[in-house]
């Protein structure tokens, strides 16, 4: 989606937490996708919030054309710093949750949390009716939301293609 929004994109910084096993897998999957799009990834592995500012500055020093944030609880508490950094440096950024976009980030593509809660309720119902939790299948999120903040796009000098706007579940104007 970032490549579509920024067609001349060649270098993307990826903020992720090496301390979280799931983040390492997600980063590897991002590398595979980047290869198919002929993008060079810049790894910004951040273990603690104290390392965040240096990592973000290195994205600018290494001339990243965009930034991807891989979901981590550590970034929830530092989200405002990331959003402010991206805006200040006119760096198109893909966030892992909609609240970043509502706070001024550019875009997010993430599971719909309300849908996940509704689906979890069906599991609770099954358990209360006697099903053994170990017998229930593990499910991945089924519904995702694509959100674009046009105010932010304008602020950073980015024109979002109409085809992307048409695919968005929500556009913040």
Percent of the chain exceeding pLDDT 90 equals 88
Average pLDDT score, the chain: 95
pLDDT at site 145: 97
What's the whole-number mean pLDDT along residues 149-173? 97
Q: What is the pLDDT of residues 108-123, one digit of tens each?
A: 999 998 999 999 999 9
pLDDT at site 13: 98
Q: Is the pLDDT of residue 48 over 90?
A: no
Q: Which of 66-75, 83-92, 128-137, 144-153 has the lowest mean pLDDT?
A: 66-75
Spatial distance between the Cα atoms of 95 and 143, rounded to a whole number of angstroms: 17
Q: Which of 18-27, 73-82, 138-147 has the lowest mean pLDDT?
A: 73-82
What is the domain partition of the chain in residue ranges? Answer: 2-172
pLDDT at site 49: 84
Spatial distance between the Cα atoms of 171 and 106, rounded to a whole number of angstroms: 10
**Secondary structure class of 20 (helix, strand, coil):** coil
Determine contact, residues 161/92, Cβ cutoff 8 Å. no
Q: Which of 21, 45, 47, 43 is nearest to 31 (CA)?
A: 43
Q: Is the pLDDT of residue 148 over 90?
A: yes
pLDDT at site 21: 84
Chain-centre distance for alpha carbon 1: 11
Rounded CA Rg of the chain: 18
Confidence category of residue 137, pLDDT binned at 50, 70, 90: very high
What's the whole-number mean pLDDT along residues 44-58? 93
Using CB atoms within 10 Å of the CB of residue 152, give its burial: 0 to 12 exposed, 13 to 18 middle, 19+ buried: buried
Spatial distance between the Cα atoms of 44 and 60, rounded to a whole number of angstroms: 11
Right CATH for 2-172 from 3.40.50.2300, 3.40.1160.10, 3.40.140.10, 3.30.420.40: 3.40.50.2300
Cα dihedral 109→54→61→33 (10° resolution): -30
Task: Name residues whose C-beta falls within 8 Å of residue 56's C-beta, 6 or more positions apart in sequence.
Answer: 15, 44, 67, 81, 82, 85
Q: Is the pLDDT of residue 76 over 80?
A: no
Q: Which of 74, 115, 71, 66 is nearest to 91 (CA)?
A: 66
Confidence category of residue 91, pLDDT binned at 50, 70, 90: very high
């Amino acid at each position: 989606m970032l490549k579509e929004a920024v067609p001349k994109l060649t270098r993307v910084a990826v903020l992720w937490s090496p301390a979280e096993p799931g983040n390492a897998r997600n980063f590897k999957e991002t590398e595979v996708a980047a290869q198919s799009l002929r993008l060079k990834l810049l790894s910004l592995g951040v273990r603690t919030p104290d390392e965040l500012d240096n990592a973000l500055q290195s994205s600018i020093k290494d001339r990243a054309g965009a930034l991807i944030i891989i979901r981590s609880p550590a970034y929830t508490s530092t989200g405002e710093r990331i959003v402010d950094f991206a805006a200040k440096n006119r760096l198109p950024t893909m966030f892992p949750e909609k609240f970043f976009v509502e706070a001024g980030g550019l875009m997010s593509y993430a599971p719909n949390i309300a849908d996940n809660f509704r689906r979890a309720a069906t599991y609770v119902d099954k358990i209360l009716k006697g099903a053994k939790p170990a017998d229930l299948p593990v499910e991945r999120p089924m519904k995702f939301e694509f959100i674009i903040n046009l105010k932010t796009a304008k602020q950073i000098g980015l024109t979002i293609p109409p085809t992307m706007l048409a695919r968005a579940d929500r556009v913040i104007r």
